Structure 1
């Protein structure tokens, strides 16, 4: 059987990235399926799930610190032809995220109401948001396992398998949503609660399938009886993962605060933000897929000591990401009103949402720089710098400007979107300077064998 190292050795960026693109697209589609199908049920239900998901996104970021470390370490070890160490990292990361996931799931179950009250959620949304958060959050550990297992599979080069599994999860989720929202054949209509059940069950089945495929495709990826240096690998996962998660944690934390600002504007603005972000996800997924494919390739290159190739790969990927995301933003802006009409017939939401998508044309190139360059820096082992800059910019620029422009100056969501643009561009420019400086060259966690 072909090892993960050989599987990825001759793959182009396109060959590696297009399955990742489809996988991310389908993950987003799963969330949008919930939103779209619930929009036929109630706009308030959409807002309730939107707030609950904002909290769940923060929890997913917490799981991401292990998954991120896994991608980088496995890629570097495979590039350095140290397959035993790559397998040990995989099994250690799965076990670590299982424990971490169970702890956070318990926290969400026990503190559901206090967390939602902290978000200043409107009273009419509390019951549905609480129901969704308890069910999906209570099984959040399943998502932790999915993220880790998918990261391992992709690092070995099997991006198509991860894509096919995600397709299956989406099909199961949509079927479950239909059953519980529309109640065919006399089945009870459960609304938000049903959507939560459908999401959870599809994820559980998805993880089981990923595990089976991983064992079949890369039998050396999970060496349960022959773990090499587990403590050292765990330490390395923390060294990479915690700073990387810090950047994501800072972003999602700032978004939670901004969600509180938006909640003070009213349920309609909150719903508009949910719809706008759902549409925007399909714009930046191009850059996201390219950044993840680039991260895997650069990790292998760094492990193999191919520094110049890694440097050029990042810049080439960046140019592609900027062009594609800018083009996508323009196209989506031209069709923004019909797109919003899919979700709602409220003219105020459609009008305001269309303005937000127009502003997104300015925002997306900056976001593309962040996605590609930050993932490249992480792949090279330079994980702390993005965190420091991220915290300063997200809170000093994004949150501060969002409050000043959106609340103090009364520009509402338009002012908040302008704040997002300023944050993305400032961080993007600083990250690009960092990559061009080549400071990251000596920061690899895995050294090439003599």
Structure 2
């Protein structure tokens, strides 16, 4: 197993810019699906949008092991415990493979029932079911890509993950083009084609990232490791992963409930939400990249017991995140008509969607607080506090306000966005004071000796 890259000191910029591009490409992949499908059918956009809401939930479930891997490998490297870093990498890949295969099977069997629970309009059901069964049935590919990517990033190889994402995007976009527009006599498959190109791009991406992992950190996934999952490593992964997944699961579940509220408003409102959130995801990508880069650096620092450096690093990153995300929200607001016009010419969607983009000027700074500080708290080993506060705020603030303003007082999507803003700021301010209190110091996971 290679050590942390010792040829140069890791900096936030060196780690973050490839992560930034990688996340942007992931988001553009989703936008490419939406943009291409919007030329085919608005109903297809809504069908894929709702199915992706469920698939995002799966990614969160797979991500709890990937998150634990990122934190533990970074802390072990910071504390010069390279043998443990290799062992936790093996355990995480094996555990996520077994877990994701089980979840994939469940999704294939129960996809239609899940969509019915979300009150999906009947006209969207056939396309949404097909997309969910195909992409969800092969979701174990994404689980392995996420875990392998976490290992690479924790060793400082963020560029490799970026290059992989570029390749996967190209394959996905080419596949979308072929199956949606039907050049050269290729049959037009619409949603079915998008699902197929997504799975093919992920399969190729998995083969490539496993090869990169072997070349960079001399690590190979061995099938016999599937039956050798050391209890002490599993315990540490679950100690980080279960609360982290709990918060993310709660968030995505609350979003599904709010999506259910939006289906009560109508298909047009659902489509507007999909278009607006696709643009908003591009706004938040800087905060997300800074959060991931900061998490790795703080993992190194906490593993080496450099607590003062970790404390300052988080606050500096938070400053960058707030400033940049706010500026990006303002720019997107100024050009909201043109940006939304890429997806649709529906005047009502353009009007409401423009208002939602305007509200992101208030939303994104609050989201930056949460993404950066919560990531830092987790990297330092402070896992449970963000989970408890997050769940309390999502279900005590976001969901009830979304219903009261959006449905009861008939504010529609504007009421829902006000609920999002309130939730992000309540949680963000609490997390800020948690970091300032330094209650996270001394909670690092790698401080315990591990006998293997």
Counterparts of residues 134-149 of structure 1 (less than 5 Å):
134-149=133-148
Counterparts of residues 82-93 of structure 1 (less than 5 Å):
82-93=81-92
Which residue is equivalent to 2:401?
401
Q: Deviation of residue 6 (structure 1)?
A: 2.6
Answer yes or no: is the 8 Å Cα contact 1:305–1:448 preserved in 2: no
- CA 1:226–1:178: 2 relative to 1, 3 Å: closer
Q: Deviation of residue 229 (structure 1)?
A: 8.4
Which residue is equivalent to 1:364?
364
Cα distance in structure 2, aligned partners of 1:30 and 1:197: 14
Cα distance in structure 2, aligned partners of 1:226 and 1:202: 26
Q: Deviation of residue 447 (structure 1)?
A: 1.4
Q: Secondary structure at the match of 2:371?
A: helix
Which residue is equivalent to 2:111?
112
Q: Deviation of residue 362 (structure 1)?
A: 0.3
- CA 1:226–1:419: 2 relative to 1, 3 Å: closer
Cα distance in structure 1, aligned partners of 2:396 and 2:118: 20
Q: Deviations over 1:87-114 (max 9, x none)?
A: 1100100000001100110110000111
Counterparts of residues 222-371 of structure 1 (less than 5 Å):
230-371=230-371
Cα distance in structure 2, aligned partners of 1:162 and 1:203: 13
Cα distance in structure 1, aligned partners of 2:165 and 2:142: 12
Which residue is equivalent to 2:198?
199
Cα distance in structure 2, aligned partners of 1:382 and 1:194: 43
Q: Secondary structure at the match of 2:447?
A: coil
Cα distance in structure 2, aligned partners of 1:216 and 1:189: 40
- CA 1:217–1:351: 2 relative to 1, 3 Å: same
Which residue is equivalent to 1:19?
18
Q: Deviation of residue 230 (structure 1)?
A: 2.5
Question: Is 1:176 equivalent to 2:186 in the alignment?
Answer: no
Question: Is 1:41 equivalent to 2:35 in the alignment?
Answer: no
Answer yes or no: is the 8 Å Cα contact 1:90–1:222 preserved in 2: no
Q: Deviation of residue 9 (structure 1)?
A: 5.9
- CA 1:226–1:43: 2 relative to 1, 3 Å: closer
Which residue is equivalent to 1:6?
5
Q: Deviations over 1:243-273 (max 9, x none)?
A: 0111111110000000000011000000000
Gaps of 5+ in 1: none
Cα distance in structure 2, aligned partners of 1:286 and 1:380: 22
Answer yes or no: is the 8 Å Cα contact 2:62–2:100 preserved in 1: yes
Cα distance in structure 1, aligned partners of 2:419 and 2:45: 25
Which residue is equivalent to 1:56?
55
Q: Secondary structure at the match of 1:326?
A: helix
Answer yes or no: is the 8 Å Cα contact 1:26–1:166 preserved in 2: yes
Answer yes or no: is the 8 Å Cα contact 2:95–2:229 preserved in 1: no
- CA 1:9–1:370: 2 relative to 1, 3 Å: farther
Which residue is equivalent to 1:29?
28
Instruction: After superposing the two structures, state which structure 1 stretch, 214-223 or 242-251, moved more.
Output: 214-223
Cα distance in structure 1, aligned partners of 2:99 and 2:223: 19
Q: Deviations over 1:132-160 (max 9, x none)?
A: 00100000111110110000110010000
Answer yes or no: is the 8 Å Cα contact 1:89–1:230 preserved in 2: no
After TM superposition, what 4+ stretches of structure 1 lie above 2 angstroms from structure 2? 6-9, 220-230
Q: TM-score scaled to structure 1, two decimals?
A: 0.97
Answer yes or no: is the 8 Å Cα contact 2:145–2:206 preserved in 1: yes
Counterparts of residues 407-418 of structure 1 (less than 5 Å):
407-418=407-418
Answer yes or no: is the 8 Å Cα contact 1:88–1:222 preserved in 2: no
- CA 1:301–1:130: 2 relative to 1, 3 Å: same
Cα distance in structure 2, aligned partners of 1:248 and 1:324: 24
Which residue is equivalent to 1:381?
381
Question: Is 1:425 equivalent to 2:425 in the alignment?
Answer: yes
Cα distance in structure 1, aligned partners of 2:223 and 2:13: 33
Question: Is 1:76 equivalent to 2:63 in the alignment?
Answer: no
Cα distance in structure 1, aligned partners of 2:98 and 2:212: 22
Answer yes or no: is the 8 Å Cα contact 1:294–1:313 preserved in 2: yes
Answer yes or no: is the 8 Å Cα contact 2:37–2:190 preserved in 1: yes
- CA 1:376–1:221: 2 relative to 1, 3 Å: farther
Gaps of 5+ in 2: none
